[in-house]
Chain A
């Protein structure tokens, strides 16, 4: 098991380094940083001085090392468009995205798992067929269409919930703002998290169902029945337990998906999070911001993968106590 973790750790470091390299290349070589900093009337001498000051004449490796060092200390450059520290911008927008993602994930898991179990145990029932057909719609419908339909129904026609923004937020210290403590904040959170969570929910439901059906066909389930164990025990203590072990790791990986799709949802609902920031960065070619975001997501995903691997080894006794089996790769 140690080997697995070491492997994953080295992969993590590699991915982040590659992302950092791409970022560095972007920042250093796209456009002229000097031009962006000084005005048009600056003299050649001024520009040369600026170049020296920014360390742009040093060898590339040194510059890269300095870049990494700065990044590790939280200095990610200054946004072209906002003229603010990139790190400050990211920090300001992170709570919004995180809150949205966590809510969406909760909805997806708390609804998806029970529905998946139910449709597996009640195969062939009318309700199962309907749910399965509905889940297909959930996969075929792009997230932004779901969002717009929700807005149409709940904001435009019924007027129950807001279509834009985060509502009133409360600062709970450390720069962290939350919308969960105000009525308008909660109302604003409902549609976006539902939109974001719906796709994941259908995915999880289908996954749990498929996995559970597989487990129900195994020999040990047959043997459990042959021993006369109660249906409840066979279905939950045996089947569900074995279903959840691989499913949990896939759900963990889905968190990354949610993070990615939050970009779309934030655009639809004008939610002031990281996603909206990134879209604007792309549209305005705000390189420092874009580059920093690249490194951020590389780090996020790599860490999520690592966490999931650790989680799997913690819950599967075959991996924990030495055996041939290991986690299924996605």
Chain B
């Protein structure tokens, strides 16, 4: 399977007055052409930082300290600013959380679109406007021609996010990084926007890195799921496997805590404790203080990603190597 995006051993550090914090620690994963990879985790797990690092817009003082990011084999994390700028918007699109603050209140919707189109594609202003109109229609905005001259505050939240999607897909990117695209929307609108995102991906053949903490959205949309915890990747695999047969204790805890119609009358399960702060990381596996099945090894050594069924898992107890270990030592 050809890999569109490859992230290898990514390390994002944040220097602060009280020391350097490690926000993303040795992260590696791939995104294939046209696939939807969902990245889930609690707030502060490092998902957004990963997204920002990929598009090269880490807010200083955060910076990439080590690792390699490649797009179709070409290294992009160390590109000069001007070269990266050409990639952004054209090869890699982005969608952010709040559609109201994502758009400039003083510019019309049409201006947003034509400006983006003219920056990356070689065409005349009238051709750009025609393309803008086409994009608006594609994302399902009614009376698109009039809407070109509307200002963002004149549109509803759902419509604004559609405009944002139009902007992300305007120049036919190969990858879109979507950071919490539905979190700021009404529940009723969320489903529509997700449907739209899926449709755009299918029709344009675009891959998506869908970053969110909403499991419901992921279940519906993603081909594969990557689970982040405290800046580390703990499990990654096909959606069915991760949802129904999670291997990592954290993922299991996450799945169990989702309220379900089928388990009525049962108390909501909770994972005890909370994610460790970046300046107070435990030794060994980051999850071990909260883990119900930890063993002594978990407190000393950090587990690497290893295969466990259809997924890859970072846990001494769940991966096949661990099972072999137990068999050998009778543990």
Q: Which A positions have Cβ atoms within 8 angstroms of B?
A: 218-220, 222-231, 233, 237-238, 241-242, 245, 316-318, 321, 323-325
Question: What B residues does A220 contact at CB under 8 A?
Answer: 101-105
Q: List 17 A-B contacts (CB under 8 A).
A: A219-B98, A220-B103, A223-B102, A223-B103, A225-B85, A226-B57, A226-B93, A228-B90, A229-B89, A229-B115, A229-B119, A238-B107, A242-B104, A321-B151, A323-B153, A323-B154, A325-B153
B96 in the interface (beta carbon within 8 A): yes
**Chain A residues closer than 8 Å to B96, beta-carbon distance:** 219, 222-223, 226
Q: Tell me, rounded to whole Å, the shortest Cβ–Cβ distance linking B83 to chain A.
A: 11
> Are A317 and B151 in touch, CB under 8 angstroms?
yes
Quick one: closest A residue to B91, CB to CB? A228
Are A242's CB and B90's CB within 8 A? no
Is A226's CB under 8 angstroms from B88's CB?
A: yes
Residues of B within 8 A of A237 (CB): 115
Cα-based distance from A229 to B151 in the complex (angstroms): 20
Known: A230-B119, A233-B119. A225 touches B106 (CB 8 A): no
- Taking CB atoms and an 8 Å cut-off, the chain B residues in 69-97 that contact chain A are 85-90, 93-94, 96
* Minimum distance in angstroms from B37 CB to a CB of chain A: 19
Q: Indicate if B323 sits at the interface (CB-CB under 8 A).
A: no
Q: Which residues of A contact B98 (CB under 8 A)?
A: 219
Residue in A241, A318, A324 with the greatest tally of chain B CB atoms within 10 Å: A318
User: With a CB–CB cut-off of 8 A, which chain B residues contact A318?
Assistant: 105, 151, 153
Contact of A223 among B86, B94, B106, B120 (CB under 8 A): B94
Given A222-B96, A238-B104, A318-B105, A228 and B151 touching (CB < 8 A)? no
Shortest Cβ distance from A220 into B: residue: B104
Cβ of A222: which chain B residues have Cβ within 8 Å of it?
Answer: 57, 96
Distance between A234 CB and nearest chain B CB, rounded to angstroms: 10
Q: Does chain A have a CB within 8 A of B241? A: no
> Is A228 within 8 A of B104, CB to CB?
no
Chain A, Cβ-Cβ closest to B177:
A226
A227 to B115, CA, bound (A): 10
A228 engages B87 (CB within 8 Å): yes
Partner of B116, one of A229, A231, A324: A229
B167 within 8 A of A: yes
B15 to chain A, nearest CB (A): 16
CB distance B106 to A228 under 8 Å? no
B106 pairs with A241, CB closer than 8 A: yes
Residues in A whose Cβ lies below 8 Å from that of B85: 225, 228, 230-231
In the assembled complex, the Cα of A228 lies from the Cα of B82 at a distance in Å of 9
Interface residues of B in 134-169 (CB under 8 A from A): 151, 153-154, 164, 167-168
* B175 close to chain A: CB less than 8 A: no
Does B55 lie at the interface of the complex (its beta carbon under 8 Å from any beta carbon of A)?
A: yes
Say how far B24's CB is from chain A's closest CB, in angstroms: 19
What CA separation (Å) do A37 and B154 show in the bound complex? 66
Q: How far is the CA of A126 from the CA of B119 in the complex (A)?
A: 33
Residues of A within 8 A of B57 (CB): 222, 225-226
| CB proximity of B53 to chain A, nearest CB, Å | 13
A227:B106 contact, CB within 8 angstroms: no
Least CB separation from A223: chain B residue: B102
When chains A and B are docked, how far (Å) is the Cα of A17 from the Cα of B168?
A: 57
Name the contact of B88 in the complex, choosing from A218, A228, A242, A323 (C-beta under 8 A): A228
Judging by beta carbons under 8 Å apart, are A226 and B119 in contact?
A: no
Contact across chains for A321 and B89 when beta carbons are under 8 A apart: no
> Once the chains are docked, how many angstroms separate the CA of A224 from the CA of B119?
11
Kindly list chain B residues whose C-beta atoms are within 8 Å of the C-beta of A324: 153
Q: Is the CB of A224 within 8 A of B88?
A: no
9 closest A-B pairs (Cβ-Cβ)? A228-B89, A228-B88, A219-B101, A226-B94, A227-B89, A223-B102, A220-B104, A323-B153, A227-B116
List 19 extra interface pairs beyond A228-B87, A317-B151, CB under 8 A: A218-B101, A220-B102, A222-B57, A225-B57, A226-B93, A227-B94, A227-B167, A228-B90, A228-B120, A229-B89, A229-B115, A229-B119, A241-B106, A241-B107, A242-B104, A321-B151, A323-B153, A324-B153, A325-B153
The 8 Å CB contact of A316, one of B87, B102, B104, B106, is: B106
A166 to chain B, nearest CB (A): 43
A94–B104 Cα gap in the complex (Å)? 43
Q: How far is the CB of B231 from chain A (nearest CB, A)?
A: 22
Report the Cα distance A103→B169, complex, angstroms.
Answer: 50
Among B103-118, those with CB < 8 Å from A are: 103-107, 115-116
Contact check: which of B55, B104, B151 meets A226 at CB < 8 Å?
B55
B99 CB → nearest A CB, Å? 9
**Residues in A neighbouring B87, C-beta threshold 8 A:** 228
Q: Decide if B89 touches A226 in the complex (CB within 8 Å).
A: yes
Q: Which residue of A lies closest to B102 (CB)?
A: A223
Chain B residue numbers with a CB within 8 Å of A321 are 151, 154
Q: Within 8 Å CB of B154, what residues of A?
A: 321, 323
Partner of B86 from the list A219, A228, A317 (CB cut-off 8 Å) is: A228
Instruction: Give the residues in chain A near B116, CB-CB below 8 Å.
Output: 227-229
The listed residue (A219, A233, A317) touching B106 by CB distance below 8 A is A317
